[in-house]
Amino acid sequence: MEERKQKEVEYYDRKAEEMTEKSLENIKGDFEGFEFHNLESWRFCYDLLKKYCRNKKVLDYGCGNGIHSIFLARYAREVVAIDLSEKSLTNAKKLVEKKGLQQKIRFFKMD
């Protein structure tokens, strides 16, 4: 199991490295202009999250670049975001700082 986990970490670290500062700038963490009509399943999920996460403490398991953590922070009282990849967490923290949501989202490296 350790070998599989290490491969996952390496994979997501590589994906995080592919995210340049420019691509981080283009992420619409506030979802303004996000084209939900192309992703009906996402719209359904986000509608449920808006309804049931309001003013609650929420876990974003496998937070990656933090895009969903940012969405959740708009409604939740607090977001705890975890990921295996330190590099993904670094990108997520940058994005969250850019959005000014550091007080609502806490990050942890864990599985």
Amino acid residing at 10:
E
User: What pTM value is reported for the model?
Assistant: 0.79
CA distance 58 to 29: 17
Place of tokens 């009906």: 40
Backbone angles phi, psi at 79, to 5 degrees: -120, 130
Q: Per the structure, how many domains does the chain have? A: 1
Q: What is the pLDDT of residue 50?
A: 87
The CATH number of whichever domain residue 9 belongs to comes to: 3.40.50.150
Tell me which residue range forms the domain holding 22: 2-109
CA distance 95 to 46: 20
Contact assessment for residue 79 and residue 58, using Cβ atoms and an 8 Å cutoff = yes
Burial zone of 24 (CB within 10 Å; 0-12 exposed, 13-18 middle, 19+ buried): middle
Contact assessment for residue 68 and residue 80, using Cβ atoms and an 8 Å cutoff = no
Give the model confidence (pLDDT) of 8-65 as tens digits.
999 999 988 887 665 666 665 555 555 555 566 777 888 888 899 999 999 999 999 8
